[in-house]
Chain A
Amino acid sequence: MTRMFVDAWDPSYGASLEGGSGGDGPASPSSAQVDTDVEVPAARWAPIDGARKARRPDVVFLVDGVRRNDAGLWTAEDDGTTYAGLAASYAAGVVRCDLGRGVAELVGARIGRGLFTASPTAADLQAGSVRYEVHRVSGPGEASMLPAAVQPSLTALEIDISDMARDGGDDLLVVDGPLRSRRQLPRTIGYVKTQQKLYLSATLNMVVTSLQPGQRTPVFHTGTVWGGWSWYLRLPGGSGAPWSGIVRVECSPDLTPEQAIELAEISGATLPRFASSAYKDPRAPQNLVPIAGLERRLRGMLGDSRVLHRALTLATARSRT
């Protein structure tokens, strides 16, 4: 008989495992070239226990960003055409978790506000006390494409701020989401909560689903554009479903395999203690506790959406007269 599990994630966030056809595993196989013989030969793949001797950094930095669409706009150009616009607020911040001292603090946070539009004539928008800087979007700029246009600005903000916050030494930087353009940051791992692609073969995926909390798979290499060293890790607190609590961690492909394995060891020793519990976080356990706290703080910094919406309405109304 089939065993059933309720996904711990709140349905509105999707599933921890997004696929085209239901939530029974990363459904779309990746076309990427995967080298699974990096740490151990693929034939001898087995779950790896979190090594006790692994160096656990005392200081862990976690970077994340939040974004919010404050208002959708339409422009009326002089030539009669119209463009969609999006006024969005976004913020990125860094939490410094000093596990030795027992202090988690926000060491840097930055807020950006932008008016994303393809309109060639749009200018900065001053709404009350805040200013939405115009970001020209290339192409036709349909309304549905605009939310995605915010992401590069947010990522840039995240990179800026993580550069700033690091104080060197033995720390570890955890970036929420794939590393992508942040791969040049030292001692940094990307933390992927949602598994959309299957990188491994069916037999190796058996190893992933058989991971116990705290265990990880051997390191493998993906050969895509944003590829690099990668491994799966199961966090404690999942429902027991095959893919619950599984996260994929990646690090820069510029590292040597040994360095990547060391980072894998460190991540296995560090990340499980940040796992959240289901009743507190709708995306438990993958949404890490510091990240959740950081997102709450950042959302608070974005300001009240109703106030901003009203200010935008007022500002645009004034500009028309």
Chain B
Amino acid sequence: MDGHQKLWTTSANPLQVRLLSYPWCNMIGVSDEAEPTRGGKQSAKSPGDPVGRVLGTADATPLQFWTAVADGSYLQLDDVVVTTRQLPDREPVTIAGVVTQVRARHEGAQFDSDVFAIAEGTLPAVVQEAAEITTTRVDPELYVPPAPGAVVHRATGEARDAALHFDRMERRIPMGTGRDGVPVFLNADFLDGTRGAHVSISGISGVATKTSFATFLLYSVFRSGQLGADGANARALIFNVKGEDLLFLDHPNTKLDAGTMSAYKLLELPATPFSDVRVYAPPRAGDSSGAPDVSSRLTGVDAFYWTLEEFCDKKLLPYVFADADDERQQYTMVVHSVTAHLNRYAVPAEGGISIDGRRISSYGDLVDHVVDQLTDDDTRSTWAGSAVNMGTVNAFARRLIGSKRDLSRLIRGDLASRRPHQIKTAESAQVTVVDLHNLPDRAQRFVVGVTLKTEFEEKEKAGTGRPLLFVVLDELNKYAPREGTSPIKEVLLDIAERGRSLGVILIGAQQTASEVERRIVTNSAIRVVGRLDPAEAARPEYGFLPPAMRQRALLARPGTMFVNQPDIPVPLCVEFPFPAWATRKSESGPPPSSTMRSIVQGADPFAVVGGRGAADDDIPF
């Protein structure tokens, strides 16, 4: 109460109010930010410089009002302001908000052409700026409008933290800086599953820097220390869909300049690359040794593939078909019976499998065998059941044969099954990058679907939400489109709906949220938007953006994102720093020494004697 009183007295001080009209008032009192105390009480704060007054020519409402900006001051979009409303018999109400629109106009001008007379110096007019404020916090919760004429202060320090609800965040993850250059935070409760989970990032490819933001967010989770042990133990599974830009997460960025360093410092983050990264790439096509197919990153890359035995044993066949669960498709019945048959009768045999007494050592052979068996009248019923007609079998066979070219390098019968080849985040490094960019569409779906299913099943088996697993997946609209069903979409839906309790957090990115399964988008507690396509921005999926912000999203620069989180009623404009890790070969510094071990495929002979530097959970033999 005492603090409130003080706040009110300051703002009602006539001397200070008069200062508003003098340009130099802007220069006084630009106080340095006090050390932000977490959970600080709002009443303990003091307002910043006065910038204007609530205007009375437009309606002031508790949720939105306009402020006339005093001469010599300015307000820009996203600035945080605070004002108070005195009430009889009660403590004053502090109303805080962010600027969602600013305008300037000539008062005293009637016609458009008057501007020339004004600029010439013949017509007296006043340039008056006004800012629309959207309320973010009312404290105490008494929804009264601010009084026209009330002094509006620029909120700094604790007042700003309170306005943006940062003071109520027990754990806050730095996301970048606001337009005012002060850090902006994400409430960890809505990221780690405590009260919500999942992030949905939308924006035009190339300019919206979706993956950069996703990786920065991960970096912040790992390095800010706000999640405590959860943050340190958390794992990330990143699918690299475009270029090789995510393959250098553990390489320092040589283009890091002093400005970026200070930006990291401001966020209290070290400006270093990710420390513990393992990169998986598919085997080179047509290469019998199973060497990973990457061109720019040469060290520290492991190949991933599935053996035929795993393929049969784990029932991976449905993931070959994009629409295998679609009820309208007849052949899906065949898919499931063949999957069951392979699961039941395939016997491991030296890397490959043996079925019906035949040894099969490649995916192509398996496909041929299955097709042979299905087209043969004698064996068809044992594979596909009796009620299946030939047309359905042919539809299945056609699709299966079509998958040969795409999947033969991923499903292998010629490589040693003991050689590590599986993507398992629990046994991998903190960050696991799966490179998909060289794979055709069908193979990408297969890898994503199978990997996610495996990981999710592991989590289900473990039955605990810890350690957290962050899954970064770009082009979500491809894996979980709004229309139709597929096994991959089911996995993603499962993650979106149950992942929160199991500690699986989906960070999905897409160009168009309108084309992604609605349930996935609605389950995302945190929604992020980069630059948007104009037609896309008009869709209801972006209803959380106020109109002015929606317009701004059309011209957002790379590195600028609008982040909406559940406990702040207005999306925040965030600028996140340039990555401290390399995003391409040309800017990559020397690789970390720990990547050298992967030349020998992770079976590091020195591991036994403790030669491995970085933290790694691998059992050393």
Contact = CB atoms under 8 A, between A and B. Distances in A.
A binds B: yes
B128 to A, nearest CB: 12
Size range of the chain A interface in the assembly: 20 to 34
A290 interface: yes
A296 B114 CA distance: 13
Contact of A99 (B113, B118, B120): B120
Interface residues of B, number: 15
A106 B111 CA distance: 19
B124 to A, nearest CB: 4
Contacts of A101: 121
A80 interface: no
A274 B122 contact: yes
Nearest to A102: B121
Interface string B110-126: 11011001111111111
A3 to B, nearest CB: 30
A95 B124 CA distance: 7
Contacts of B110: 280, 296
B494 to A, nearest CB: 64
Nearest to B125: A293
A95 B123 CA distance: 9
B108 interface: yes
Contacts of A56: none
A297 B124 contact: yes
Contacts of A296: 108, 110
Contacts of A274: 122
A303 to B, nearest CB: 13
Contacts of B121: 97-104
B119 A290 contact: no
Interface of A is mostly: mixed
A289 B108 contact: no
A290 B120 contact: no
Nearest to B110: A280
A56 to B, nearest CB: 12
A293 B126 CA distance: 11
B119 to A, nearest CB: 5
Nearest to B109: A293
A290 B123 contact: yes
B122 A289 contact: yes
Interface string A178-206: 00000000000000000000000000000
A55 interface: no
A14 B24 CA distance: 49
Nearest to A100: B121
Contacts of B123: 104, 289-290, 292-293
Interface string A86-107: 0000000001011111111110
Nearest to B113: A280
Contacts of A273: 120, 122
A57 to B, nearest CB: 12
A158 B118 CA distance: 23
Contacts of A100: 121
Q: Which of B118, B121, B125 has the most CB of A within 10 A?
A: B121
Contacts of A103: 121
Interface string B180-211: 00000000000000000000000000000000
A114 B404 CA distance: 98
Contacts of A105: 124
Contact of B120 (A102, A280, A292): A102
Contacts of B114: 280
B111 A104 contact: no
Interface in B100-150: 108, 110-111, 113-114, 117-126
B298 to A, nearest CB: 65
A167 B114 CA distance: 27
Contacts of A98: 121
Contacts of A175: none
A105 B106 CA distance: 12
A274 B117 CA distance: 9
Nearest to B118: A104
A43 B117 CA distance: 40
A273 B113 CA distance: 15
A294 interface: yes
Q: Which of B108, B122, B126 has the most CB of A within 10 A?
A: B122
A61 to B, nearest CB: 11
B119 A102 contact: yes
Contacts of B122: 97, 99, 104, 273-274, 289-290
Contacts of B126: 106
B125 A280 contact: no
Contacts of A97: 121-122, 124
B138 to A, nearest CB: 30
Interface string A289-310: 1101110110000000000000
A289 B125 CA distance: 11
A278 B442 CA distance: 73
Interface in A263-286: 273-274, 280
Nearest to A62: B124
A103 B121 CA distance: 4
B106 to A, nearest CB: 10
Contact of B124 (A99, A280, A293): A293
A99 B125 CA distance: 14
A34 to B, nearest CB: 33
Contacts of B117: 289
A38 to B, nearest CB: 30
Nearest to B119: A102
A313 to B, nearest CB: 23
Contacts of B120: 99, 102, 273
A100 B117 CA distance: 13
A35 B212 CA distance: 87
A106 B108 CA distance: 11
A296 B118 CA distance: 14
A301 to B, nearest CB: 12
B20 to A, nearest CB: 18
Interface in B35-61: none
Q: Which of B108, B113, B119, B124 has the most CB of A within 10 A?
A: B124
A102 B120 CA distance: 4
Q: Which of A105, A292, A293 has the most CB of B within 10 A?
A: A293
A139 B124 CA distance: 40
Contacts of A290: 122-124
What 4 pairs between A and B have smallest CB-CB spacing? A104-B124, A102-B121, A293-B123, A293-B124
10 contacts: A99-B121, A101-B121, A102-B120, A104-B118, A104-B121, A104-B122, A106-B124, A273-B120, A280-B113, A293-B125
Given A95-B124, A104-B124, A273-B122, 8 more contacts: A97-B122, A104-B121, A104-B123, A273-B120, A280-B110, A296-B110, A297-B108, A297-B124
